[in-house]
Structure 1
Amino acid sequence: MAKVTNYISEAFTELKTNVTWPEWSEVQRLTIIVAVFSILFALATFAVDRGFEVVVARIYDFLKN
């Protein structure tokens, strides 16, 4: 158990002393970029899914008649 406690303590110490954290303005800017691209990717995925749905429905309708 002492090894786990020591590991966690060293990890927190390294995060405090050795990690260079970005400025708050950069964090906000990058968060907005990630959100915009996530929305665009979701919309593109939705469009492709809807397109396949229409194509498959037309194929089934064609084969049914």
Structure 2
Amino acid sequence: MFGRINNYFRETRDELLNKVSWPSWEDLRESTWIVLVASLIFALIIWALDSVLGIGLGQFYKLFK
């Protein structure tokens, strides 16, 4: 049983070191900036929609008070 577990970890290590195609540091930095900018834009869109809907529903609820 321990031999199978040991073999699993050995194969996993071999795959991560020799078979996986890792990005270069430049590619990684570029992708990171793209994700950060996209996340910021998405957060701003959600914030704007939340604000507009909050104000709109607040005005709608005032009609029934």
- Fold similarity call, TM over 0.5: yes
The amino acid of 2:19's aligned partner reads: N
Question: In structure 1, what is the equivalent of residue 18 of structure 2?
Answer: 17
Deviations 1:26-48 (A, max 9, x none): 10000000000001001111111
Q: Calculate the aligned-residue CA RMSD, in Å.
A: 1.2
1:43 aligns with 2:44: yes
The residue type equivalent to 2:17 in the other structure is K
Structure 2 CA distance for aligned equivalents of residues 5 and 40 of structure 1: 46
Question: Structure 1: which amino acid aligns with 2:32?
Answer: T
Deviation at 1:6, TM superposition (A): 2.2
Partner of 2:31: 30
TM-score computed with the length of structure 1 as normaliser? 0.87
In structure 2, runs of 5+ residues without a counterpart are none
Moved over 4 A (4+): none
Aligned to 1:20, the other structure's residue is in SS state coil
Aligned position for 2:60: 59
Q: Give the Cα–Cα distance (whole angstroms) in 2 for the partners of residues 37 and 47 of structure 1.
A: 15
Alpha-carbon offset, residue 15 of structure 1: 0.8
* TM-score, length of structure 2 as denominator length: 0.87
How many residues in Structure 1 have an aligned counterpart in Structure 2?
64
Offset, 1:23: 0.8
